[in-house]
Structure 1
Amino acid sequence: MKRTKQQAASAFCLGLVALLAGCNVGPKYRPPSAPAPVAPAYKETPANFQDADGWKVANPNDAMLRGKWWEIYNEPELNSLEEQLNINNQNIKVYFENYMAARAMTRQAKAQYWPTVTTNPSWQRSRSSANLTNSSNANTGQQSTTWAFPFDVSWEPDFFGKIRNEVREAEYAAQVSAADLANEQLVEQASLAEYYFELRGQDALQKILDDTVEADKKALEYNQNQYDTGVGDYISVVEAKTTLQTAESQSLNLGVSRAQYEHAIAMLIGKPATDFKLAVEPKLIKPPAVPVGVPSKLLERRPDVAAAERTVAEDNATIGIGYGAFFPDVTLSATGGFEASQFQHWFDWPSRLWSIGPSISQTIFNGGLYRAELNQYVATYNANVATYRQTTLTAFQQVEDYLAATSILSNQILKQQQAVDSSKQYLDLEMQRYQMGIDPYLDVTVAQTTLLSNQQTLATLQVQVATASVELVQALGGGWDRADLPTPQQTAVKPKKGEYSYER
């Protein structure tokens, strides 16, 4: 009968523990709503995907960007630089190590599910005073030896979900860190592509100015000969010389921007600017058709949007931790081991000792601290919901901005090319009129300046449309997908060999 009562009590206790362990205080997480576009396509997308004279976008049914998005530009040198960036960029390394630290914190949080076991073996030799005549110690003046080998076990069962919420908070924080890492990679990759196109644009501008300088030198030589033979006047020589000197000055000035872009590229790929050099190669990139997809998929492709949403999930778990503070902490602890006065009897069965007992800790009054902390967590949650929605609005704005920029600049380039062609014809006609003595050389100078200005504008527009294309790719997420985000379970996986190392 006595054993039956003990079994029933044990079963009741186990059932109570299981019931309490299933409790999880705090709100259930629901992803915040986002401003959802109702249009089936982006507003600034060119109406005709195939027959537009300017820049095109890929059909929405085409495959989305994936992986190494920069390869759509078909620039082997850019591909090589991007590969170096992914390995050596120090900003990316910072975010990677932050992600590894977040994964370690997830494992730290999960460690709370398990009991803590400690041991403290000891040996002690002591002698008590013989002058303790009024002491209750029966061994006054005696020597004693104690051999101890205790084990202490403590465990805090997760009755009210506090630890589970802490684990969820750590898992979501690790996901935020993973999304931040992906976003930083995209930012650095896009910056490298933009700097590369800017540098090649400077080379193209340099080629235009070099050709202009050579043409101006010939014009100066022609006018000087005309003057020396008494056919021309000296003012034409001065005008030709002024035009040449202006072009030479502009040509020298381009070196400043090119050097800065080259230095910036070196920094991005993790090399000292002193040891890095890119050969001059005049090249203007025509941006390829970019598959933009449909607006409803944008929020699944932006790592910054994913980071903002996972931050809200992390805050929701923090609210659960705040609710858990109102419930008592239950700790189960036990001590056992062996203790003896002689080494040979240290591990004898009669030398065993043990104690066991639970403890409950509950705050009765703390001046409203827990309530204030909970209000803080709720306010932080609401603020980050607003941040998430603002991030989504910014995502749509950026896509529309760069769609418009790329399309409009492309059409402007077509018109500017026509202006360049007309300027060349204008210069040829004006040179003929000058040589026939109809117009002064000043009119030739005006035509030369007009041509140079239009050529520079065309080159600048071509660089702008290339960089706008890169910015569009970045606004679309660069081929990233929410499926690339690690699951909560994956955030607690131990790093592989070589993935986590100590660097000096």
Structure 2
Amino acid sequence: MRAVTSIPRPLGLIALSLLLAGCAIGPDYRRPELATPVQFKQIEGWTLAAPGDALERGAWWTLYGDAELNALVERLNLSNHNLAAAAAQYRQARALVRGARAAFYPSLSSSAGVTRAGQGGGDSTLSTADGFSVGGANTASISKNYDLSLNAAWELDVWGKLRRALESSQADFEASAADLAALRLSLQAELVQTYLQLRVLDEQRRLLEATVAAYARSLRLTENQYNAGIVPRSDVSQARTQLKSTEAQAIDLRWQRAQLEHAIAVLVGVSPSELGIAPRDALPLLPQIPVALPSQLLERRPDVAAAERRVMAANAQIGVAEAAWYPDLRLSASGGYRGSSFADWVSLPNRFWSIGPNLALTLFDGGARRAELQRSEAAYEQTVAEYRQVVLDSFREVEDRLVQLRVQEQEAQVQQQALEAARESLRLLENQYRAGTVDFNSVVNVQATALNNERSSLTLLGSRLTASVQLIAALGGGWQAATASKTEEARASLGER
């Protein structure tokens, strides 16, 4: 009968660890419970649709139909320094994941050295029992040792401590990727809002310049009528006052526009003196934005994703803390050559080796492990509360922007009617003034009313444009959760460039 070969003890320990590898100490992650609304409260007047149907998730700013804006956002993506810093932080998190994954493999090290040691030497005096002293010299002993060794160690993840640590690092890495996406979206939204405000200021300046030209013609007409003795001198003073006041308003817009231009320069990573944006008459388009369902918002927004990944990381750390109560199993092996002569250093008689398991268990630590477990559990509860708060804030931001756009759309319709009425009233009063049936003071009042309505319409349009950007950002912008973990190099490409 054939004898059964016994399994070596180290291999038996490895097999046992593999059997236990399916179990990991600590709680498995479960998404915190949330009361998600079925729809948004301010959804009336909007069409529910999947965000990807009409909204360009990769380049949402193209919805405004402005080529210069598109170019500025691309420059921001490449050159913004805050974004480059976040990309570097992302790469740090990625490196930590690689470090945590390396703990699963054995470590191998080698060493080679030579030591020289001595013992004894010098004079000595020895006293005898008869009272005599005997002097002598000790011969020094000097030895030399040559050592060449190779060491290997492997910690077996019996209780899942290493797996929980990797799980935590992976979640932190994904949170860092979401943080990078959230910062990119925030900076893009800031740039788009600033650019839209600048274009609205350009339109306001164009309006004031056209109004100044109209008031200058009115002043010349009034002066001609005064010279002909038709109107009093007070009409000329009123016309000149109105003209100069409007000129001052037009001049005041210059510093406001310059500040917006400077802010855009910093966002794209250059000094204010290096960027100039020429004025333009045409305004960007006001896009129609499909609104996601509340449940989809949790997948679209990078800040929500980052908060949830931190919950996952904190949950895994509980497992790491619990694993500290169990013994660590480590396999170690070493071998090499050790001799006193260099000539026969690497030879069979000088060979040595050792191999064996090491089981380590902390018996008393003064409560340190229990304190660490309590800290980990409290940290988990903190991240859960923060995650729920981020979700609530995201719902509030969408609701705010929805009600703002819906109400301002109604306001814009009424404001347009008021503007048309003011223009018609101005046309009639100017004709009556030329015919001499009304005084100039009536014309001035109607002109001021018309100008205020024109500026109010532009201010309202600027507010609606800004709110549309804020709504896109509140809905998650161009961040794609489905591909966030697939292309690591693409997400870090900004910092690598």
**Could you say what secondary structure the match of 2:333 adopts?**
strand
Residue by residue over 1:433-454, the C-alpha shift from the partner in whole angstroms, topping out at 9 and shown as x without a partner, is: 2223322211111011001100
Deviation at 1:349, TM superposition (A): 1.4
Residue 132 and residue 356 in structure 1: after superposition, are their counterparts in 2 closer, same or farther (change >3 A)?
farther
Instruction: Give runs of aligned pairs for residues 158-197 of structure 1, distance below 5 A.
Output: 158-197=157-196
Is residue 45–residue 406 contact of structure 2 (8 Å, CA) maintained in 1?
no
Alpha-carbon distance in 2 for matches of 1:174, 1:250: 52
Deviates more, 1:331-340 or 1:276-285: 331-340
State the 1:83 CA deviation. Answer: 1.0
CA contact (8 A) 1:176 1:310 kept: yes
Q: How far apart, CA to CA, are the structure 1 residues paired with 2:350 and 2:404?
A: 84
Find the partner of 1:85 among 71, 76, 79.
76
Q: Describe how 1:452-471 pairs up with structure 2 within 5 A.
A: 452-471=451-470
C-alpha distance in 1, partners of 2:139/2:27?
63
1:458 & 1:374 partners in 2: Cα distance? 60
User: How many Å separate the matches in 2 of 1:151 and 1:500?
Assistant: 42
Aligned residue number for residue 101 of structure 2? 110
Shift of 1:140: 5.4
Shift in Å at residue 428 of structure 1?
1.6
Cα offset for 1:165? 0.9
Q: CA deviation at 1:206?
A: 0.2
Cα distance in 1 for partners of 2:427, 2:476 equals 48
**Counterpart mapping for 1:294-373 below 5 A:** 294-373=293-372
Q: Displacement, 1:69?
A: 1.0
- Partners of 1:30 and 1:458 lie apart in 2 by 50
Q: Is the CA contact (8 Å cut-off) linking 2:185 and 2:478 kept in structure 1?
A: no
Q: List runs of 5+ in structure 2 lacking aligned partners.
A: 126-137
Alignment correspondent of 1:36: 36
Partner of residue 7, structure 1:
7
Where 1:280 maps in the other structure, the secondary structure is coil
Letter of the structure 2 residue corresponding to residue 451 of structure 1 = A
Measured against aligned partners, the alpha-carbon deviations of 1:341-380 in whole angstroms (never above 9, x if no partner) come to 2222121111111233433333222332221221121122
| Structure 1 residues 382-408: Cα deviation after superposition (integer angstroms, max 9, x where no partner) | 122122122222222222221222222
1:70 matched to 2:61 = yes
Q: Secondary structure at the match of 2:279?
A: coil
Aligned partner letter, 2:473 = Q
- The aligned amino acid for 2:421 is S
Aligned pairs, number = 483
SS in structure 2 at match of 1:120: strand
Specify whether residues 443 and 339 from structure 1 end up closer, same or farther in structure 2 by C-alpha distance, changes over 3 A only: same
CA RMSD of aligned residues (A): 2.7
The answer to whether the 8 Å contact 2:66/2:284 transfers is: no
Q: What does residue 395 of structure 1 align with?
A: 394
| CA pair 128-249 structure 1, distance change in 2 beyond 3 A | same
Please give the per-residue CA displacement for 1:259-291, whole angstroms capped at 9, x wherever unaligned.
Answer: 111111111111111111000113333312212
Distance change (3 Å), C-alpha of 1:144 and 1:418: same
Letter of the structure 2 residue corresponding to residue 369 of structure 1: A
Q: Which residue of 2 aligns with 1:264?
A: 263
Distance 2:451 2:386 in 1: 48
Q: Distance in 2 between matches of 1:160 and 1:369?
A: 19
Relative to structure 2, which stretch is displaced further, 288-297 or 8-17?
8-17
Partner amino acid for 2:18?
A
Post-superposition offset of 1:257: 1.4
Other-structure match for 1:433: 432
CA distance in 2, matches of 1:388, 1:339: 59
CA pair 58-422 structure 1, distance change in 2 beyond 3 A:
farther
TM-score (norm 1): 0.89
1:222–1:502 distance in 2 versus 1, CA, 3 Å: closer
Structure 1 contact 182–303 (Cα < 8 Å) conserved: yes
Q: By how many angstroms is 1:4 displaced?
A: 6.0
- The answer to whether the 8 A contact 2:202-2:279 is kept is yes
Greater mean deviation of Cα atoms: 323-332 or 5-14: 5-14
Q: 3-state DSSP class of the match of 2:153? A: strand
Contact kept, 8 Å, 1:35 with 1:389, in 2: the verdict is no
Q: Secondary structure at the match of 1:167?
A: helix
Residues in 2 aligned to 1:366 and 1:143: alpha-carbon distance in whole angstroms: 45
Q: How does 1:7-26 map to 2 (within 5 A)?
A: 7=7, 12-26=12-26
Partner amino acid, structure 2, of 1:475:
A
Distance apart, 1:59 and its partner CA: 8.2
Q: Could you tell me how far 1:47 is from its partner in structure 2? A: 3.6
State the AA in 1 paired with 2:57. R
- Tell me what 1:251 maps to: 250
1:98, distance to aligned residue in structure 2 (A) = 0.7
Which amino acid counterpart does residue 366 of structure 2 have in structure 1? G
Corresponding residue number in structure 2 for 1:223: 222
Q: Give the distance between the partners of 2:195 and 2:278, measured in 1 at CA.
A: 12
- Give 1:245 shift: 1.5
Provide closer, same or farther for how the CA distance between residues 8 and 132 of structure 1 changes in structure 2, counting only shifts above 3 A. farther
The answer as to whether partners of 1:35 and 1:393 remain within 8 angstroms in 2 is no
Q: In 1, Cα distance between the equivalents of 2:49 and 2:419? A: 29
Note if contact 1:64-1:293 (Cα within 8 Å) is conserved in structure 2.
no
Query: Aligned residues: percent identity?
Result: 38
Indicate yes or no: 2:109 matched with 1:99: no
Task: Render the CA deviation track for 1:36-81: whole Å, top value 9, x for unaligned.
Answer: 2224xx33234475xxxxxxx8788945542111112211111111
Aligned match of 2:120: 129
Alpha-carbon spacing, 1:60–1:375, altered in 2? closer, same or farther (3 Å): closer
Alpha-carbon contact 1:284-1:462 (below 8 Å) kept = no
Shift of 1:214: 1.1
- Aligned partner letter, 2:442: D
**8 Å CA contact retained: 2:65, 2:284:** no
Letter in 2 for 1:328: P
Q: Which runs of 5+ in 1 are unaligned?
A: 50-56
